[in-house]
Structure 1
Amino acid sequence: MTLTFFTHPMSRGRIARWMLEEIGEPYETVLVDWNGKPAALVEANPLGKVPTIVHDGAVVSEAAAICAYLAEAFPAAGLAPRGRERAPYLRWMFFTAGPLEGAMIDRVLGVEVPVGRQGMVGYGSFAQAVDAIELGVAAHDYIAGDRFTAADVYVGSAIGWFTQFGLLEKRETFMAYLDRLHERPAWQRAVAIDDALLAEQEGAAQR
């Protein structure tokens, strides 16, 4: 089995890193320099995007897809949905990757949806998107139910990122959810790995 992970420590690659640490399988990390992307990455993903993984020749990009793929490819980790977990698992992972991220990016870019056109953007309004994800988070301890799944890796990463940069207000519901997720050893390992890599890059840039 070969599992190659293309990433940068200050990117959505952090999401995939966490998921990789959760499954507990060996993987090779290939660090990507924004100014010169490796040929192997461009061959696998012509957009040169990170994260991208290559598992036994199968290429998967997009952080949410990577989380879902790894949960299914490595069932022993117990991160794929079971029974009634499947509906909220898919619902909130896809909502976060689509409408919620769209709402956040539009907010950053200063995009104003014209009056009467809110139905065209998929998230209605920014406030509606935020209230919707809070509804999902508040329903259970974890996004798909009472058990941690791969959906929590993606949704939790997004909520953590958005609250960290002030795009999402630090509502009690969100922060309690993040506290539960951040107790996981895999999250702590992933953060330590990427923070160390980022520090190395910054140190090298200053020399």
Structure 2
Amino acid sequence: MAELTFYTNPQSRGRIVRWMLEEVDEPYVTEIVTYDEMKSDRYLAVNPMGKVPAIKHRDHVVTESAAICAYLADVFPDAQLGPRDDEKADYYRWLFYAAGPVEQAVTNHYAKFDPAPEQGRMFGYGSYDKVVDVLDELFSSRDYVCGNRFTAADVYVGSAILWGTQFGTLPQRDSFASYTDRLRSRDAYKCATELDDEAQVQLQPPVPQGAE
């Protein structure tokens, strides 16, 4: 019996965790949670924030996509997705950079809020343009977050760039295109995308007969 339960919605950041679960390649049970169900007492007992994704592993709940990726890499070391000793600095640096400054910069910019230059010191990311340039420089100099080897950090950081360049919240850069091409070629990414696309179709209401 699977010890992992995955709470998700295919139209959410749950896609990040689905990909990580496929990379780990351990059995898990999926519970699709609709946006109405996220506010139910049943799901609030799992995550009081009323958001997905979340996982339950051996009766312990983990939320926050970056934390889930790091946790799964740690508790399933055979997948070799955690950092080696010489990778730990880059692994943790860029994982937390994506979860903090990148997330804040992108969401604020999308909401049409960009701090004035004199406000930059008040925000952990400084400016949206600076965040983009830092990521561009990173992936212009290496194939993956930790260098030449794919790790769990690439699931999270890579998801931010995949999503951002697809939906226009990040600009197109040559380094981003090369990086995301490498990520899309992974079997686990393809499998996770297929599973979530199928789940998304199942959530859509049926089209009435005769409707155009």
- Equivalents in 2 of 1:33, 1:137: separation in Å? 36
- Give the total of aligned pairs: 206
Structure 1 residue runs of 5 or longer lacking an equivalent are: none
Which stretches in structure 2 are left out of the alignment for 5+ residues? none
Q: 1:168: how far off?
A: 0.9
Distance 1:60 1:36 in 2: 18
Contact kept in structure 2, 1:92 and 1:133, CA below 8 Å: no
Question: Compared with structure 1, are the counterparts of its residues 145 and 42 closer, same or farther at alpha carbon in structure 2 (3 Å cutoff)?
Answer: same
- Given that residues 6 and 41 in structure 1 are in contact (C-alpha distance below 8 angstroms), is that contact kept between their aligned partners in structure 2? no
Q: Separation in 1 of the partners of 2:58 and 2:7?
A: 14
Q: CA deviation at 1:50?
A: 0.6
**What residue in structure 2 maps to residue 170 of structure 1?**
172
Alpha-carbon separation, structure 1, partners of 2:155 and 2:146: 11
Name which of structure 1's ranges 33-42 and 58-67 shifts more when overlaid on structure 2: 33-42
Partner-residue secondary structure (3-state), 2:160? helix
Give runs of aligned pairs for residues 61-140 of structure 1, distance below 5 A. 61-140=63-142
Contact kept? 1:137, 1:173, Cα under 8 Å: yes
Shift of 1:104: 0.6
Query: 1:104–1:205: structure 2 CA closer, same or farther, 3 Å change rule?
Result: farther
Match of 2:181 in 1: 179
8 Å CA contact 2:10–2:199 kept in 1: the answer is yes
Q: Would the aligned equivalents of 1:159 and 1:174 in 2 still touch at CA under 8 Å?
A: yes
Give me the whole-angstrom Cα distance separating, in 1, the residues matched to 2:144 and 2:34.
35
CA distance in 2, matches of 1:40, 1:82: 39
Taking structure 2 as the reference length, the TM-score comes to 0.93
Give the Cα–Cα distance (whole angstroms) in 2 for the partners of residues 65 and 114 of structure 1.
Answer: 31
Question: How far apart are residue 112 of structure 1 and its match?
Answer: 2.9
2:62 match = 60
Shift of residue 36 of structure 1?
Answer: 2.2
- In the TM superposition, residue 135 of structure 1 has moved relative to its aligned partner by 2.1
* 1:21 aligned partner, one-letter code: E
**Between the two proteins, what is the percent identity of the paired residues?**
47
Q: CA RMSD in A?
A: 1.3
> What is residue 25 of structure 2 aligned with on the other side?
24
Could you give the per-residue CA deviations for residues 104-147 of structure 1, whole angstroms, max 9, x where no partner exists? 11111111313411011111111101011122222311111111
CA distance in 2, matches of 1:82, 1:139: 20
Residues 193-204 of structure 1 aligned to structure 2 (within 5 Å)? 193-202=195-204, 204=205
Select the residue among 153, 177, 192 that pairs with 2:155.
153
1:52-80 C-alpha deviation (Å, 9 max, x unpaired): 00100111100000000000000000000
Say which SS state the counterpart of residue 122 (structure 1) adopts.
Answer: coil
Q: Which residue of 2 aligns with 1:44?
A: 46
TM-score by length of 1: 0.95
Q: Secondary structure at the match of 1:117?
A: helix
CA distance in 1, matches of 2:35, 2:127: 33
